[in-house]
Amino acid sequence: MLREIRQQPDVIEKTIRAESTKLRKLGKFLRDRDVDLIVLAARGSSDNAAIFGRYLLEIACGIPVSLCAPSVYTLYKAKLDLKRALVIGISQSGEGTDVNTVLEQARKYGAFTLGITNSSRSPITKVSDETLLIHAGKERSVAATKTYTGQLLHFYLLANSLTTKAKINLEKLPEYASSALELESEVSEIAARYTFMENCVVVGRGFNYGNSFELALKLMETCYVVAERFSTADFQHGPLAVVERRFPVIHIGPRGAPKRTDLELLRRLKELNADCFSITNDRSIARASSRSVMLPAGISELLSPIPFIIPGQLFAAHLSAAKALDPDAPRSLSKITQTV
């Protein structure tokens, strides 16, 4: 897991270089097709990437995005009118039966289908009209890391190909990912403080809402910590009642639009004597937290999801080791999960 976390700057650079031409052509085709709805189908970490994709595509492209419920297709056999829809299946292995079934049915109902995967020979490439590849090499760790950020990257590339507005400058993403990796020793020291953590909450908002789900998933997979996840706004609508003295809250909070609500929550958590660990690049957020790691101040909120999840991945890997667990062999799990 740690080795694959450290490969992410190279994977980002390689994927941008290999896929950009294909995406430019795809973008022109989709703009001519006049797509007015995007549907995202995924499970697990890929579904967390899809949450980010929804925020990004709606904000950057102005096209409504729906997160698919695969059971609508696989269990209830519903028939949908998708003639002007783009349906995207996201799967690191490309072997998810339910995601591939959604793509098959969506094609039948008139949609243009797109697969995002790390495997060029997987079933998803056969049921999609077009495939976007993550150039990550084989991912051996059960906990997805480099394929997750590769999926986030493809949403940036797709947004750039679909929008007629100013493009998102992705040139510095590998550098930002490298900056996040430089925090590893600091993150390892912090993780050691949480060796006996059994429950926690992970919060994030906006572009990092999906990352709150992803970090919680990593903590459940590799550390067996019961981790709930919320937006910083939703957490104050009831779930705040679970917080008591020293209750751990992990907060993903870059400088940007959610800062006001982030600070409101952090102040309330301080009043409740909670233990709040923030991944941030804003000094006021860091000061309001029990402890924090600081990423470069120049990382915009728009580009924060990839570099900001990396300290979270490192935290989960090092916490697993501190608990004398093996993050590469989590109990009850396998790399590929088949559900219908």
Q: Which two tokens stand for residue 213?
A: 């789900």
Contact call for residues 214 and 45 (beta carbons, < 8 A): yes
> Looking at the DSSP assignment, which residues form a beta bridge with residue 66?
39
Residue 332 forms part of a structural domain: no
Main-chain phi, psi angles of 78, to 5 degrees? -70, 150
Residue 207 forms part of a structural domain: yes
**The predicted structure's pLDDT at residue 337:** 60
The one-letter amino acid at 101: T
Residue 22, domain CATH? 3.40.50.10490
Total domains in the chain come to: 2
Residue 333 forms part of a structural domain: no
Please name the helix (run of DSSP H) or strand (run of DSSP E) that holds residue 92, with its range, or none.
none
pLDDT along the chain (340 residues), means of 10: 97 96 92 93 96 97 94 88 95 91 94 96 95 95 95 98 92 98 98 96 97 98 96 84 90 96 94 96 97 98 98 98 91 61
**The predicted structure's pLDDT at residue 74:** 84
**The predicted structure's pLDDT at residue 334:** 57
Chain Cα centroid distance, residue 111: 25
For residues 156 and 192, membership in a common domain is answered with no
For residues 144 and 269, membership in a common domain is answered with no
- 136, 162, 188 - which closes a domain: 162
For residues 239 and 204, membership in a common domain is answered with yes
For residues 157 and 266, membership in a common domain is answered with no
For residues 182 and 151, membership in a common domain is answered with no
- pLDDT tens sequence across 217-235: 999 999 999 999 999 888 8
For residues 192 and 244, membership in a common domain is answered with yes
What does the alpha-carbon distance between residue 295 and residue 311 come to, in Å, rounded to a whole number? 9
Q: Which domain holds residue 119?
A: 2-162
What does the alpha-carbon distance between residue 168 and residue 181 come to, in Å, rounded to a whole number? 23
**The predicted structure's pLDDT at residue 338:** 57
**The predicted structure's pLDDT at residue 336:** 55
For residues 155 and 229, membership in a common domain is answered with no
Residue 228 forms part of a structural domain: yes
- As to burial, measured by CB atoms within 10 angstroms (0-12 exposed, 13-18 middle, 19+ buried), residue 76 is exposed
Residue 180 forms part of a structural domain: yes
Question: Look-up: residue for tokens 């995207």?
Answer: 88
Residue 66 forms part of a structural domain: yes
For residues 69 and 117, membership in a common domain is answered with yes
Residue 327 forms part of a structural domain: no
Residue 119 forms part of a structural domain: yes
For residues 12 and 148, membership in a common domain is answered with yes
| Crossing angle for the helix pair 305-322 and 146-162, to the nearest 10 degrees | 170
**The predicted structure's pLDDT at residue 226:** 96
For residues 120 and 8, membership in a common domain is answered with yes
Quick check: helix, strand or coil at residue 29? Answer: helix
Could you give the strand order of the β-sheet that contains 65-67, starting from the edge strand earlier in sequence? 65-67, 37-42, 85-90, 112-117, 130-133
For residues 33 and 69, membership in a common domain is answered with yes
**The predicted structure's pLDDT at residue 264:** 94
310 dihedral zone (left: phi>0; alpha: psi -120 to 50; beta): alpha
For residues 12 and 139, membership in a common domain is answered with yes
